[in-house]
Every structure is written in structure tokens, then in C-alpha cells.
Amino acid sequence: MSERSGMPGEGLVKGLAVTLKTMTRPSTTQQYPDVAPELPPRSRGVIALLEENCTVCMLCARECPDWCIYIDSHKEEVTVPGAARPRQRNVLDKFDIDFSLCMYCGICVEVCPFDALYWSPEFEYAEHDIKDLLHDKDHLGEWMATVPPPPAHDPHGDPSKEETTAARKAAAPARPAAVRPEPGPAADGGTAP
């Protein structure tokens, strides 16, 4: 027998010891339908829409690898007091997400520059018909109530960019206003232009 193999049946004894130890522990089965699960803080359930923040930039729909976001809009003229001409702005008409196609990658939430899309931990939205998994902007807006607040900033971590910029501006000494030199006589005795 080689030195590495040890005693015959040693692996069998270790395996039985693990089995007996596991059998004596109580089970940790979660009673899901009766007891709501305790989800991790950044769990991905469903995508919620904050309609007021959406500027119809279409970044979410363009970056979606599944092409499951459908957006329609129209332009409206807005008159601004004191402006020379009226401005145009996009108005959101339709914002639908087909959750039967969505793979929950989160790219749409990450690329949104105006914080219009958020992850909600809501995951109980099963439907009897697959066509009912196409959710419109009103349905997506209802899930904004379930979006948790952002986590507090770690006091021992790096400060945010905004805090760093504000601290740098407050600590910088005030610069004197730039003074332009007055035109005067040139070095050759003539006058400067």
C-alpha cells in the first residue's frame, strides 16, 4: 500500500461522519408563500420607472441586448418667459418593458443618465398569460413605491465626487480678478497700438 492512500475505508468513515452531522441539524427550509423571504439589499426583482425623470433619450432601449424596451414620444413646444423663441421638449407617450424577454441584466438601469429607471425588489408579478408580462409605464410607475432608498455613504470610504469638489472649492483662496494692462508707451518710445 502506498503512503498517500492511508487506511482502507478512511474516506468512507469521513463521509458517514458528514452525513450523520448533517442529519442531526434542523432543516432551514423557508416557508415562502406563507413567510415573505428576506431579500439582500441589492436584489433584482423588477424594473421601476420614474416617469418625471424620463427625457426620452432612448439610451435604455438602444443598449438593451434583448430589445425588450419599447418607447414612443412626441415633441411639445414650451414657451419660456424671456426667451427669444419657444423650446421643444420630448413627452413620453409609451414606455413598455416586455418581462418575458428581459434577462434582468440591469444595463438599462445603469445607462440611464437621468435616474428614471430603478431596481425594485418586487418579484411576485407572475402572470397566467405570457402576453400579460408586457408592462406599461403606469404599471412600472406603481413599483416606484417599493424601491428602497439608496444605502448610506460609508463614513470610512472615499468621499463622493460632489463632496470632494465642494470641499476643494471651499478651501481654495479667492482669486483676484484679472486686470488687463492699460495700453501705454512702447519700449521704443512710440505708443502701443
> Cell triple for residue 164?
470632494
**Residues in binding site:** 54, 57, 60, 64, 102, 105, 108, 112
Return the pLDDT at 174.
66
- Domain layout of the chain by residue ranges: 46-77+86-147
Please tell me whether the overall predicted TM-score, pTM, comes out greater than 0.85 for this model. Answer: no
Q: How far is CA 171 from CA 141, 155, 156, in A?
A: 42, 21, 21
Residue 117: the pLDDT is 96
For domain 46-77+86-147, the question of CATH label 3.30.70.3270 is answered with yes
Binding-site residues for [4Fe-4S] cluster sit at 54, 57, 60, 64, 102, 105, 108, 112
Residues 64/107, Cβ–Cβ less than 8 Å? yes
State whether residue 160 is helix, strand or coil: coil
Residues of the chain with pLDDT under 50: 1-2
What distance in Å separates the CA atoms of residue 147 and residue 141, rounded to the nearest whole number? 11
